[in-house]
Structure 1
Amino acid sequence: MSFEIRPFDAAAAADRELSEYHLAKAASWQLDFPEDPPVSYEAAVGRLRTPWLSDGTCRYWAAYANGTLVGLGKLAVQEGENSAIADAEVTVHPDVRRQGIGTALLRALLPALHESGRSTVNSAAVKTGSPGALWAERFGFRVVNRSVVQTLVIDETKPELWDVPVPAGYRLARWISPAPEELIDAYAAARDAVQDAPLGESSVRHPRWDRERIRTEERTLAEQGAQERVVVVIHEATGDIVGVTGLLGYAYRPENCYQNDTSVVSAHRGNGLGRTVKAAMMRWLVAERPEVRRILTGTNADNVHMIAVNEALGYRILRRLDWRETTTAELTDALA
């Protein structure tokens, strides 16, 4: 098969190209993740045009066969703690896999990767032992971390699982972003408690949260049309926020919500506060957002405590993922 690789502008793409991208993405996702519902056009294009904050800045390259878009390569670079890392992701329609298109897309990212100055390259998370995992391994991407994706299907979950009382000495507060000015510093400090969450051998580091970073995140989410709900637990004796959880909803996929950070300050762990804030979040969500049918969350496979907390609230494990990385130099050699 002959094909052509060209830069792709998601914001300026023609309707036909976006439709072709959706077909490639949906077919690829159905094959690789059959446990998920089908990917709609709105979800595929919305995710493409509205990258998650953790993606950073994204650039794309498309593969065309006989004038039809059949694959997409993505290079995402972040700043701050992860400014030495780039994320590479390749999607190819299953009908044209094993013909060199994925390799050509990965190779097309290389000049931009070198220009970015990033020394480490992460691949998209893939299922253990899947064709995608074997393909990534071929180019030197080694497993550095493992995680589980859990889902809570609201219609299949007993609401009484969310009837979790607030422990004595604590109280709850909640808001839809932005955070109240009088709580912003305490909120940032509590979110920063995520620093000791396990990351395996990955080069990725958790973001450091402060007032400025919180406000930047809130502005960006608002610009994307995303809604962020936050529930916090406050220690009554000190007035400190000692536990937080967040939930994100995007207009392009109204039936889903995505778990944001959940963290508890170390001195207050062991009191069930993680379960408390997550249960309160579910009671709030189902009361105000009846269109939401499913919650998704990713947790490090070593974080058995949080996995158990989620299961107690009705989550079940949907899949297990490998996170892989290599160096820019090694990837360049592998593609030479």
Structure 2
Amino acid sequence: MDIRQIDRFDDAQLKPWWELGKVVDEYQRPWSWYWTWESACAALRVENKQSERVLLGAFDGTDLVGSGHVVFPLLDNTHAAFGGVAVPPDRRRRGVGTALADALEERVAQRRRRTFMTEVLVGVDETDSPGMAFAERRGYEVGVSDGLKLVDLVETEPTWAALAAETAPHHEGYTLVSWSDEMPDDIVDSYCALATTFLVEAPMGTMDVEEEKWSRERVRDDERMRREAGRHMLGTAAVASDGTVAGFTEVVVSKFSPERGFQSGTIVAPAHRGHRLGLAVKLANHASVRAAFPECRRLMTGNAGVNEHMNAVNDSLGYRLVEYCNEIQKKL
């Protein structure tokens, strides 16, 4: 078996890598959120100053039998790397996953990154996960378990007005500010101050993560990368009377698959909790998504099982659990 690096700018190499990943992601997962070929091409070929991505393929002769990837953050969390492997069901238990995992861990160690992080998806009723068994044999440990949830915006939209009316008295004095693609200039700096705390404020269990370094320049660079990747960001912030961003939420919708979106981060600063701001910003942002992308019916999100408040918010919005995502790590 031969492990080779995949040239993301070469369709002849990238297309089989993408196709194999699609087969694996959709296997027994009717809710698969795998990116379209157009989206993958655009996102993987964008100039990225914030992280470096390496794609690998496992080959049996000329046949691609497994894929892998690793991402090296460049601005923060430079002690760590993130990645994963994918092996089709009919190729498992033949050493493909082991060869790919060995190759990825070797590259991480060569870069002097102390921790390699990845994810294993586990069915709601699954009691014996082959993915977890494989990871545990290699010395990976679960840092935190998230519940992956879906919401149908069309079905739940009739409930939004009542929820908004219920929360409104609790967040008097705050202004909800929504935007599409480009964040209003007057809230960028305060947004950065809050976004920097996201990884330490969100329940991350024992995951070896540090604060991200957010700046005005990074926000604008993020916006550039999304434009070039064909992705739209819709955000809503709760702004306090002194102009401070007290909380925010964001959803990403790709122009290549506008029928679905991904509910990204939601956070409320500790000093501003207790005002129903998490629910308020998500309600406003759901409405923004429906207005901008009426064809966008479903959103996916993930929440740590221990995050009782955000799980309650999502339950009230109609999100339903479809599977678990174990965030795991190994010290190299």
Under TM normalisation by the shorter chain, which class is it? 0.7 to 0.9
Q: Indicate if the aligned counterparts of 2:39 and 2:229 stay in contact, CA closer than 8 A.
A: no
For 1:56-205, what aligned pairs fall within 5 Å after superposition?
56-127=51-122, 129-161=128-160, 163=162, 164-165=164-165, 166=168, 167-192=171-196, 194=198, 195-205=200-210
Structure 1 pair 83/323, CA: closer, same or farther in 2 (3 Å)? same
Aligned partner of residue 82 in structure 1, secondary structure: coil
For 1:285-300, what aligned pairs fall within 5 Å after superposition?
285-300=289-304
Q: CA deviation at 1:110?
A: 4.0
Aligned partner of residue 10 in structure 2, secondary structure: coil
Structure 1 pair 61/161, CA: closer, same or farther in 2 (3 Å)? same
Q: CA deviation at 1:42?
A: 2.5
CA distance in 2 between counterparts of 1:266 and 1:159 reads 31
CA distance in 2 between counterparts of 1:180 and 1:38 reads 30
Q: Indicate if the aligned counterparts of 1:123 and 1:141 stay in contact, CA closer than 8 A.
A: no
Structure 1 pair 138/291, CA: closer, same or farther in 2 (3 Å)? same
Structure 1 pair 75/240, CA: closer, same or farther in 2 (3 Å)? closer
Tell me which of 4, 12, 36 is aligned to 2:2.
Answer: 4
Q: Point out the more displaced range, 266-275 or 120-129.
A: 120-129
Q: What is the one-letter code of the residue matched to 1:176?
A: S
1:42 to 2:37 alignment: yes
TM-score normalised by structure 2 residue count: 0.87
Structure 1: where are the runs of 5+ without partners?
A: 329-336
For 1:236-275, what aligned pairs fall within 5 Å after superposition?
236=241, 238-275=242-279
Write the deviation string for residues 101-156 of structure 1: whole angstroms up to 9, x where unpaired: 11111222244223211011112333274211111111111112111111112233
CA distance in 2 between counterparts of 1:125 and 1:63 reads 20
Q: What is the one-letter code of the residue matched to 2:58?
A: A
Aligned to 1:26: 22
Q: RMSD in angstroms over aligned alpha carbons?
A: 2.6
Aligned partner of residue 124 in structure 1, secondary structure: strand
CA distance in 2 between counterparts of 1:110 and 1:169 reads 50
Query: How high is the sequence identity, in percent, across the aligned residues?
Result: 29
Q: CA deviation at 1:201?
A: 0.7
Q: CA deviation at 1:299?
A: 1.5
Q: Indicate if the aligned counterparts of 1:145 and 1:202 stay in contact, CA closer than 8 A.
A: yes
Q: Indicate if the aligned counterparts of 1:120 and 1:326 stay in contact, CA closer than 8 A.
A: yes
Q: What is the one-letter code of the residue matched to 1:189?
A: A
Residues paired across the two proteins, number: 322
Write the deviation string for residues 14-58 of structure 1: whole angstroms up to 9, x where unpaired: 1xx444334422321233x5241484752784487269x899311
1:221 to 2:216 alignment: no
Q: Indicate if the aligned counterparts of 2:6 and 2:14 stay in contact, CA closer than 8 A.
A: no
Structure 1 pair 202/54, CA: closer, same or farther in 2 (3 Å)? farther
Structure 1 pair 233/315, CA: closer, same or farther in 2 (3 Å)? same
Q: Point out the more displaced range, 266-275 or 171-180.
A: 171-180
CA distance in 2 between counterparts of 1:7 and 1:272 reads 48
Q: CA deviation at 1:70?
A: 2.1
Q: Indicate if the aligned counterparts of 2:42 and 2:229 stay in contact, CA closer than 8 A.
A: no
1:325 to 2:290 alignment: no
Q: What is the one-letter code of the residue matched to 1:175?
A: W
Structure 1 pair 245/41, CA: closer, same or farther in 2 (3 Å)? closer
Q: Point out the more displaced range, 284-293 or 105-114.
A: 105-114
Aligned partner of residue 249 in structure 2, secondary structure: strand
Structure 1 pair 162/54, CA: closer, same or farther in 2 (3 Å)? farther
CA distance in 2 between counterparts of 1:45 and 1:192 reads 27
TM-score normalised by structure 1 residue count: 0.86
Q: CA deviation at 1:304?
A: 1.0
Q: Indicate if the aligned counterparts of 1:243 and 1:264 stay in contact, CA closer than 8 A.
A: yes
Structure 2: where are the runs of 5+ without partners?
A: none
Aligned partner of residue 258 in structure 1, secondary structure: strand
Aligned partner of residue 76 in structure 2, secondary structure: helix
1:310 to 2:314 alignment: yes
Q: What is the one-letter code of the residue matched to 2:313?
A: V
Aligned partner of residue 125 in structure 1, secondary structure: strand
Q: Indicate if the aligned counterparts of 1:193 and 1:263 stay in contact, CA closer than 8 A.
A: no
Q: What is the one-letter code of the residue matched to 1:276?
A: A
Write the deviation string for residues 284-333 of structure 1: whole angstroms up to 9, x where unpaired: 211220121211111122111101101111111121121111122xxxxx
Q: What is the one-letter code of the residue matched to 1:259?
A: Q
